[in-house]
Amino acid sequence: MSNNRIILIFGNNEYAQKIYESVESKCDKAVMFGLQEPDEEQHRVQQFDLSDNWDDLRENYDMQNAIIFCALQNEAQNIFLTLSLHAAFENVDIIALARNQEDANKLYMAGATKVIPIVETTALIIADMIKKPIITNLLHNILYEESSLKLMQIEIHNAEHFEGKYPADINWSRDHGIIVLSVITYDGVSEFIYSSKTKYREIHNGDLFVVIGYEKDLQEFKKFIGEANG
């Protein structure tokens, strides 16, 4: 990331906080904006409202060198925010977070440059992973560079395809062209793929895999485990 980059993060939640922490040292300036008035502990957060008037941004920041994150928790507000910012700053990269593919499609239509379909459980996993340098660099390439890699959450429907193998027994990149980062088990427990609890735990239907790969490989893997395309 260029040192003169300005990162503007709209959202005051755990994932937005982790985005801020991951980019703060890698850009010239990082700023968080929240809809609610910040308390004393939220000194880094500036209040904003969902207005079409973005004159303050123009006056205070070099928008030619800005990247915007739209990370509001309310889907409708996040879509409106993306639409409004895109209308005001057509050439600025906007990275938006979506809870599902339907919202992701709406965000693209609203003008987002890149959309990450993500649910709350995945966000918490990534918030933890982002502390690790290797993962930070990988996410940096997905978010900021011209990368065709995608981050996706995929639910296991045909666990019998793994023939009782454990995650540690499978060469994910060779067999499926993907990298599995973490697993959310069907009973809601989140673990990294190579944690002691996950490596030798049998794969079950209903498990959620957080994976990185190219679109074609991701779609093929979804077919393999029985999840419909979308």
Q: What CATH number is associated with residue 111?
A: 3.40.50.720
Domain boundary among 119, 139, 169: 119
**Residue 143 within any structural domain of the chain:** no
Does residue 42 belong to any structural domain of this protein?
Answer: yes
User: Are 61 and 153 part of one and the same domain?
Assistant: no
Q: Is there a single domain that holds both residue 177 and residue 109?
A: no
135 lies in a domain?
no
**Has residue 136 been placed in a domain?**
no
Distance CA(198)–CA(219), nearest Å, equals 24
Task: Assess whether 105 and 173 both reside in one domain.
Answer: no
pTM of the predicted protein model: 0.55
Report how many domains make up the chain. Answer: 2
Q: Is residue 7 a contact partner of residue 67, using CB atoms and an 8 Å limit?
A: yes
- Residue 168 and residue 66 share a domain: no
- Within a domain: 217: yes
- What does the pLDDT profile of the chain (230 residues) look like in tens digits? 445 789 999 998 877 887 888 788 778 889 999 887 766 555 678 888 887 679 889 999 999 999 999 999 888 899 999 999 999 998 999 999 887 777 888 899 999 988 876 654 455 555 555 555 545 555 656 555 555 677 788 889 999 988 878 888 888 878 888 888 778 887 777 676 766 677 788 888 998 888 888 888 889 999 999 876 54
Sheet order of strands, 178-184 included: 149-155, 208-214, 178-184, 190-192
Q: Is the residue at 204 inside a domain? A: yes
Give yes or no: residues 221 and 161 share one domain. Answer: yes
Same domain, 112 and 48: yes
Q: Are residues 108 and 192 in the same domain?
A: no
Count other Cβ atoms within 10 Å, centred on residue 107: 28
Mark whether 113 and 24 lie in a shared domain: yes
Give the span between the Cα atoms of 85 and 131, in whole angstroms.
29
> Helix (H) and strand (E) counts for the chain?
9, 10
Which conformational region is residue 142 in: left (phi greater than 0), alpha (psi within -120 to 50 degrees), or beta? alpha
| Domain around 155 | 149-225
Per-residue pLDDT at 230:
45
Which class for 96: exposed (0-12), middle (13-18), buried (19 or more C-beta within 10 A)?
buried
Residues 10 and 115 in one domain: yes
110 plus 171 within the same structural domain = no
The CA distance from 201 to 37, in Å, is 45
CATH code of 185's domain = 3.30.70.1450
Nearest of 109, 62, 81, 114 to residue 12 by alpha carbon = 81
Joined tokens for residue 227? 């999840």
